Amino acid sequence: MMNQKALISIITPVFNCENYIEATIDSILNQTYTNWELILVDDCSTDKSVAIIQAKYLQDSRIQLLQNTSNLGAAGSRNNGITASKGKYICFLDSDDFWKPTKLELQQAFQVANNYAFTYTTYQRLKEEQVIGEIKAKPAVTYADLLKTCSIGCSSVMLDTTQFDSIQFPNIRKRQDYALWLKLLKKVDRAYGLDEPLTVYRVRNDSISSNKFKAASYQWHVYFKVEQLGFFSSIYYLMHYTFHGIKNRI
C-alpha cells in the first residue's frame, strides 16, 4: 500500500486559459495519489478561466484560488503559490499541461526511496491533441549539464522543500523555471530523472518556445544577467543550447 502521508502542493499559475484549465485540473483530480493541495494563482485573466474554476472546482477543499491584484507573470504567480503552500513536496503544473493518473504516486515513491531533493519525469509533447514527440528524462543532471541544455519540463518537477532553504523563482518574465533549476543545482549536486512519460506538455503556436529567436534571447539573459557567466562563457553555453535545440528536432 502506498504511503500518502506527505502532502504534495501543486502550484498552477492561471492566465487566460479557459480552453485548457479543465483538462489540467481534472488530471489532478484523477491522480492515484490523493494527499495533495492545488493552489491556483490567477494573474488577472480576462477570459472565463476564473469563472470556470469557481463554478466547477472550489467545492473540493484541496483546491484554492488566489487572485493577483496586478499582472505578475508566471514567476510572481508561482512564488505567491509557493508562499501559500503547506506541502513537504512542491510540484508545478502549467495551466495548459496535464498529468497521467499515476504521476504523483510514482514520482513521490521514486523521490522518497532515494531521498532525492529534486526530480523530474519524461514528458510528451502534444500538439492539436496529437503526441508529436517525447523528451526523455536523463538519469541525472548537474549544474554544468543544465547550462548546456535543459530537458527538464517545469510541469514534470517535484521538489522536497525540506532539502532547500528557499524555493523562489527569479523575478524575470521568461525562462524563470530554467533559472530556478540552475539556482537549486547550486544547492544540491544533481536532479534525478524518472524515465516514465507522466507529464504532457501542450505545444501552442503562440507560445514563447515556438519562437526560436525570442527563446534564444531569453536564454542569453539567463546566462549573462542572471547567472553572470560573462560574455564569452555566455556565448559558449548559448552555442550548446542552440546545437541541442536543433538536434532535438531533427
| CA–CA dist 202, 225 (Å, integer) | 29
Q: Which domain holds residue 243?
A: 211-250
Regarding whether 249 and 135 lie in a shared domain, the answer is no
pLDDT for 243 equals 60
Are residues 57 and 138 part of one domain? Answer: yes
Give the dihedral sign, CA 146/73/200/11: positive
Residue 232: predicted pLDDT: 66
Least Cα distance to 38 among 93, 88, 98 occurs for 93
More confident residue, 247 or 33: 33
Question: Residue 78's domain is classified under what CATH number?
Answer: 3.90.550.10
* Torsion from C-alpha of 111, 33, 84, 120, nearest 10 degrees: 40
> Is 12 strand, coil or helix?
strand
Q: How confident is the model at residue 242 (pLDDT cuts 50, 70, 90)?
A: confident
Domain count, the chain: 2
Quote the pTM value.
0.88
Predicted local confidence at residue 211, as pLDDT: 60
Residues 61 and 179 in one domain: yes
Same domain, 86 and 160: yes
Per-residue model confidence (pLDDT) at position 94: 96
More confident residue, 248 or 30: 30
The pLDDT, as a whole number, for residue 172 is 84
Instruction: For residue 66, give the C-alpha cell.
Output: 488566489
Whether the CB-CB separation of 93 and 8 falls below 8 Å is answered with: no
- Assess whether pLDDT exceeds 60 at residue 224: yes
d(CA 120, CA 13): 19
| Percent of the residues in the chain that have a pLDDT greater than 70, as a whole number | 90
pLDDT tens column, 70-84: 999 999 999 999 999
pLDDT for 112 beyond 80: yes
Give per-residue pLDDT as tens, 40-68: 999 999 999 999 999 999 999 999 999 99
